[in-house]
């Protein structure tokens, strides 16, 4: 398969050393049920390269000390590494300054932070919040909870059956009560890459700020918050080859300055008396208590790892694998793919016709193929298609054509067994 990469028509397969990349991921070497592991559950979580594992091990075994609070050697080392990690994130997404980068527990933690703080400051009775029909529950429920607290309204931008958002409908959903738009960039279920730059412009024309859920984006395509002009953006460390329990909440400084703190505790304060507490400056105002500082350092190592390969190359390689997988599965027949957007990341949701996803998933598992089954925390997407769930194969930078062939073999096996 040939795709246009960097102005050429050469296949990326020729210049992308997937063998070398795979050697960085110890998990991939193992067998399950005596079969080579085919890990295609990357949208749920990605595996970790040795470069990340080693950094996390080094900090746990040699350098651990709580940050920002000590004057001793270890604390100084860890604090510096933590603040350097913030700088790494800042550069990775091209934020204006590192004060705009807040470390959280993950995308879910970040969206809850925003829904609470923004809600406290800006949402009143009858105000409206826009999200899409393809959101992950993490970008639905915190806004719903806010709407319940404030008697506000959640409005939903629908998608067409191919997984493309209805932009005309989006434009019509705005009223003078619309206070924020919160959008998934790449759907964790349909793989659709949404036209968020255009959607942000449409919202800004109406003076409405936009939050981007980039949980499934930072690992696949280059994110530039400056160029996108989003007001807020979130992602999780564990989905970009970093540790679990760490994530990012980015906000433009002009917004973060206006938002009240989300949680109270150590480190987020300036002066505490029983009568009144004043708060620390950005970014610490939003980082109450001991953060997952080793997680942040590990996540920075993951971002450096990705940068070392190059996101352009990763996007091209994964796109080529997605195109190969889609064509091969279509050629097999008897499989329904959900999500046919022309702009798609390497996430494939499907059902083998006439076979329950659980049965398919169990056969896949016994063949060593790890995919996810269920609603993928996006029940409204399943409601759209009137189905209980799908199988989801999510492809990442270390997957191969041979693994896609093996996935197809597993599909054929299911079809044979249920014929
Ligand atoms: N948004 C999207 C699009 C996701 O795919 C996920 C994770 N599946 C989340 C948010 C939540 O991420 P986390 O569980 O890491 O907080």
Q: Does the beta carbon of 42 lie inside 6 Å of ligand 1?
A: no
Q: What is the pLDDT of residue 374?
A: 98
- Interval between CA 14 and ligand 1 midpoint (Å): 33
Q: Report the nearest atom of ligand 1 relative to the CA of 106.
A: 16
- Interval between CA 412 and ligand 1 midpoint (Å): 31
- Interval between CA 275 and ligand 1 midpoint (Å): 39
Q: Does the beta carbon of 88 lie inside 6 Å of ligand 1?
A: no
Q: What is the pLDDT of residue 1?
A: 38
- Provide the edge-to-edge strand list for the sheet that holds 247-251: 101-104, 247-251, 232-236, 210-213, 178-184, 128-132, 153-157
Q: Does the beta carbon of 208 lie inside 6 Å of ligand 1?
A: no
Nearest CA to ligand 1 atom 6: 215
Q: Which residue from 188, 247, 380 has its CB within 8 A of the most atoms of ligand 1, so it is best to mutate?
A: 188
> Which percentage of the chain shows pLDDT scores above 70?
98
Report the pLDDT averaged over residues 95-118: 98
pLDDT in tens, 116-160: 999 999 999 999 999 999 999 999 999 999 999 999 999 999 999
Report the pLDDT averaged over residues 368-385: 98
Is 54 a residue whose pLDDT tops 70? yes
Q: Report the nearest atom of ligand 1 relative to the CA of 109.
A: 16
Q: What is the pTM of this model?
A: 0.97
Is 3 a residue whose pLDDT tops 80? no
Annotate 371-409 with b (16+ C-beta within 10 A) or e (fewer): bbbbbbbbebbbebbeeebbbbbbbbbbbbeebbebbbe
pLDDT band at 15; cut points 50, 70, 90: confident
Q: What is the pLDDT of residue 10?
A: 53
Q: What is the pLDDT of residue 7?
A: 38
pLDDT band at 175; cut points 50, 70, 90: very high
Q: Does the beta carbon of 48 lie inside 6 Å of ligand 1?
A: no
Q: What is the pLDDT of residue 180?
A: 99
Q: Does the beta carbon of 188 lie inside 6 Å of ligand 1?
A: yes
Is 187 a residue whose pLDDT tops 50? yes
pLDDT band at 9; cut points 50, 70, 90: very low
Are 217 and 233 within 8 A, CB to CB? no
Is 401 a residue whose pLDDT tops 70? yes
Nearest CA to ligand 1 atom 5: 188
Q: Does the beta carbon of 182 lie inside 6 Å of ligand 1?
A: no
- Look at residues 340, 239, 348, 243 and name the one whose alpha carbon lies nearest to residue 291: 243
pLDDT in tens, 310-352: 999 999 999 999 999 999 999 999 999 999 999 999 999 999 9
- Interval between CA 136 and ligand 1 midpoint (Å): 7
- Interval between CA 234 and ligand 1 midpoint (Å): 9
Residue 311, both tokens: 């996101």
User: Which of 3-7, 19-23, 182-186, 317-321 shows the lowest per-residue confidence on average (mean pLDDT)?
Assistant: 3-7
- Interval between CA 135 and ligand 1 midpoint (Å): 10
Q: What is the pLDDT of residue 27?
A: 98
Q: What is the pLDDT of residue 12?
A: 80
Q: Report the nearest atom of ligand 1 relative to the CA of 213.
A: 1
Alpha helices in 193-340 (DSSP H): 196-205, 225-228, 253-256, 293-309, 311-332
Spell out the domain ranges in the chain: 12-47+310-417, 53-307
Mean pLDDT of the chain: 96
Is 396 a residue whose pLDDT tops 80? yes
User: Which of 71-80, 236-245, 317-326 shows the lowest per-residue confidence on average (mean pLDDT)?
Assistant: 71-80
Report the pLDDT averaged over residues 57-78: 93
- Which positions are catalytic? 377
Is 11 a residue whose pLDDT tops 90? no
Nearest CA to ligand 1 atom 4: 215
- Interval between CA 45 and ligand 1 midpoint (Å): 9
Q: List the beta strands (DSSP E) in 121-170.
A: 128-132, 153-157
- Interval between CA 23 and ligand 1 midpoint (Å): 27
Nearest CA to ligand 1 atom 14: 108
pLDDT band at 5; cut points 50, 70, 90: very low
- Look at residues 106, 103, 69 and name the one whose alpha carbon lies nearest to residue 84: 103
- Look at residues 96, 139, 116 and name the one whose alpha carbon lies nearest to residue 288: 116
Question: CATH assignment of 53-307?
Answer: 3.40.640.10
Is 13 a residue whose pLDDT tops 90? no
Report the pLDDT averaged over residues 4-31: 80
Q: Does the beta carbon of 106 lie inside 6 Å of ligand 1?
A: yes
Q: Does the beta carbon of 341 lie inside 6 Å of ligand 1?
A: no
Q: Which residue from 220, 239, 242, 302 has its CB within 8 A of the most atoms of ligand 1, so it is best to mutate?
A: 239
- Look at residues 232, 254, 241, 235 and name the one whose alpha carbon lies nearest to residue 115: 232
> Which percentage of the chain shows pLDDT scores above 90?
95
Is 16 a residue whose pLDDT tops 80? yes
Please calculate the CA angle 201-207-212 and round it to the nearest 5 degrees.
55
Is 294 a residue whose pLDDT tops 70? yes
CATH architecture of 12-47+310-417: Alpha-Beta Complex (3.90)
Q: What is the pLDDT of residue 2?
A: 40
Is 253 a residue whose pLDDT tops 80? yes
Q: Does the beta carbon of 108 lie inside 6 Å of ligand 1?
A: yes
């Amino acid at each position: 398969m040939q795709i246009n990469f960097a102005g050429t028509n050469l296949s990326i397969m020729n210049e992308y050393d997937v063998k070398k990349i795979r050697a960085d991921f110890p998990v991939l070497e193992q067998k399950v049920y005596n079969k080579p592991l085919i890990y295609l559950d990357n949208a749920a979580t990605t595996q970790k390269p040795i470069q990340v594992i080693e950094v996390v091990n080094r900090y746990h075994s040699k350098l651990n000390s709580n940050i920002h609070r000590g004057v001793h050697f270890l604390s100084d080392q860890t604090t510096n590494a933590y603040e350097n990690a913030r700088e790494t994130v800042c550069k990775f997404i091209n934020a204006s300054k590192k004060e705009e980068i807040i470390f959280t527990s993950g995308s879910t933690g970040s969206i809850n932070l925003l829904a609470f703080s923004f809600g406290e400051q800006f949402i009143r009775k009858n105000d409206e919040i826009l999200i899409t029909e393809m959101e992950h529950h993490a970008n639905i429920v915190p806004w719903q909870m806010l709407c319940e607290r404030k008697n506000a309204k959640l409005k939903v931008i629908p998608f067409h059956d191919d997984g493309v958002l209805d932009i005309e409908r989006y434009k019509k959903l705005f009223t003078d009560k619309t206070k924020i738009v919160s959008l998934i960039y790449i759907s964790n279920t349909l793989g659709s890459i949404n036209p968020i730059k255009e959607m942000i412009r449409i919202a800004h024309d109406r003076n409405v700020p936009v939050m981007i859920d980039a949980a499934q984006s930072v690992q696949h395509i280059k994110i530039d918050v400056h160029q996108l002009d989003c007001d807020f953006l979130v992602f999780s460390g564990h989905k970009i080859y970093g540790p679990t329990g760490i994530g990012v909440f980015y906000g433009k400084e002009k917004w973060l300055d206006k938002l009240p703190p989300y949680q109270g505790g150590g480190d987020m304060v300036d002066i505490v008396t029983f009568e009144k507490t004043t708060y620390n400056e950005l970014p610490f105002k939003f980082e109450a208590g001991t953060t997952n500082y080793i997680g942040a350092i590990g996540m920075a190592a993951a971002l450096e790892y990705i940068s070392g390969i190059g996101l352009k190359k990763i996007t091209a390689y994964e796109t080529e694998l997605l195109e190969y997988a889609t064509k091969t599965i279509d050629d097999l027949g008897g499989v329904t793919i959900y999500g046919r957007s022309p702009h798609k990341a390497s996430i494939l949701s499907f059902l083998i016709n006439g076979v329950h996803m659980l049965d398919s998933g169990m056969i896949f598992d016994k063949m060593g193929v790890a995919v996810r089954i269920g609603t993928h925390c996006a029940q409204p997407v399943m409601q759209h298609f009137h189905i209980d769930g799908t199988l989801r194969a999510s492809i990442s930078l270390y997957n191969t054509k041979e693994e896609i062939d093996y996935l197809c073999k597993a599909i054929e096996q299911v079809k044979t067994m249920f014929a």
